[in-house]
Amino acid sequence: MFEISLIPAFKDNYIWLLRRGRQAFVVDPGDAAPVLQRLAADDLELAGILITHHHADHQGGIAGLLAHRACDVFAPAEESITGRTHPLRGGERLELLGVAVEVLAVPGHTLGHLAYLAPGALFCGDTLFGAGCGRLFEGTPAQMSASLERIAALPDATRIYCAHEYTQMNLPFAQAVEPDNPDIAARIQRVAAARVAGQATVPLTLGEEQLSNPFLRCREPAVIASAQANGARDASPVEVFAALRAWRNVF
């Protein structure tokens, strides 16, 4: 397996650096400058770029990186991506740095959103966050609900490498949905301590998300009850998800 480390960017973005020996890939480089600094500091060669979706804070650094070194750019086929060399739609299997990586279609945040699944690690862009999920800028609640269920079916030990430090911001909403959930209360304390210490809360574990992320708990009675009190017309997972997402948008 390759080594994984984070490169902070902007206010709360994470660019993920995958390295094996002197070869490196980066995931969602919204800004070229911090990536180039890390490559130089660690004496790494950029072998490729993985893009989850088209938003500027995820692809804005591609041109600067390609100006430094030509490399492969794997990205959604259905979205406008700078410098894309390998258009993907989900279902493909790649070999990156000697590691098998599966491409998953996870529409919802955007229509062509992809995630990249390596052994024990998922790079999911803006689909799933710590205690939350991405806004529906282009997709439907049914699409996002299905995408989250696909992620939720992975092993609990899967480490989730999302693209933003949003965990602390999301937890108050999770607690509003399930005020009596002890896992959420305990996570609030852990995350607060980590942030005070200047530590990232990402990567996440899928098992922890299953216990404390309301968007992965749409079949839980307490979550269903909260969703129905906030507009859900029935107890179906898609309807519960839609009500939660709409509530979160104004929370």
- The amino acid occupying position 183 is D
**Residue 131's CB: how many other CB atoms inside 10 A?**
29
What are the tokens at 14?
A: 């994470």
Catalytic residue among 28, 53, 54, 113: 53
Catalytic residue among 31, 54, 57, 113: 57
Integer Cα distance of 160 and 154 in angstroms: 11
Query: What are the residue ranges in the chain where pLDDT is below 50?
Result: none
Integer Cα distance of 237 and 140 in angstroms: 13
Q: What's the pLDDT at 88?
A: 98
Question: Is 126 among the catalytic positions?
Answer: yes
pLDDT tens profile 123-182: 999 999 999 999 999 999 999 999 999 999 999 999 999 999 999 999 999 999 999 999
Catalytic residue among 58, 156, 183, 234: 58
Q: What's the pLDDT at 162?
A: 98
Question: Is 86 among the catalytic positions?
Answer: no
With a threshold of 0.95, does the pTM exceed it?
yes
Question: Is 180 among the catalytic positions?
Answer: no
Q: Distance between terminal CA atoms of the chain?
A: 40
Catalytic residue among 28, 54, 113, 126: 126
Question: Is 58 among the catalytic positions?
Answer: yes
Integer Cα distance of 178 and 214 in angstroms: 8
Q: What's the pLDDT at 119?
A: 98
What ranges do the domains of the chain cover?
Answer: 3-250
Integer Cα distance of 102 and 236 in angstroms: 29
Catalytic residue among 54, 55, 86, 234: 55
The class level of CATH for 3-250 reads alpha beta
Question: Is 68 among the catalytic positions?
Answer: no
Catalytic residue among 28, 54, 109, 113: 109
- Sheet with 72-76, side-by-side order of all strands: 3-9, 13-20, 23-27, 45-50, 72-76, 86-88
